[in-house]
Amino acid sequence: MASPLDSSQPRLAAGCRWAPSTTGKEENRMILFPEGAIKLQGTGRQVLERCDGQRTFSEIIAELQKEFGTTDPEKIRADISTFLEQLQKKRIVDY
């Protein structure tokens, strides 16, 4: 699978959706997909919440660079690219 381009607009793949939180806490939400479910926490959840099909990959990177300003921008880009590639392989994200 290819890395996302700056102009890519990541989104949940067909058949995937956020499950409603059973505890009322947003951090406990899960992604439901045809083969199962996955609970993302921390940065992973922050990345996936931004994958709305409207924001581009470069916009997501810019937002997270503002939030994690002390981290090397190239590391942020590489980590998020790898993360999205893994989710695409599992058919959770399309871009």
Binned at pLDDT 50, 70 and 90, residue 88 comes out as: very high
Segment among 3-12, 22-31, 47-56, 57-66 with least mean pLDDT: 22-31
Domain architecture of the chain: domains with CATH: 11-94 (1.10.10.1150)
For residue 16, the SS3 value is coil
Q: What is the number of other CB atoms lying within 10 angstroms of the CB of residue 27?
A: 11
CA quadruple 82, 29, 7, 80: dihedral, nearest 10 = -20
Structure tokens at 5: 């381009």
- Which pLDDT score is estimated for 71? 84
Rounded CA gap, 30 and 39, in Å? 4
Predicted TM-score of the model (pTM):
0.87
* pLDDT tens profile 35-84: 899 998 888 999 999 999 999 999 999 999 998 888 888 999 999 999 99
Q: Kindly indicate the confidence band of residue 25, based on its pLDDT and cuts at 50, 70 and 90.
A: low
Q: At residue 28, does pLDDT exceed 80?
A: no
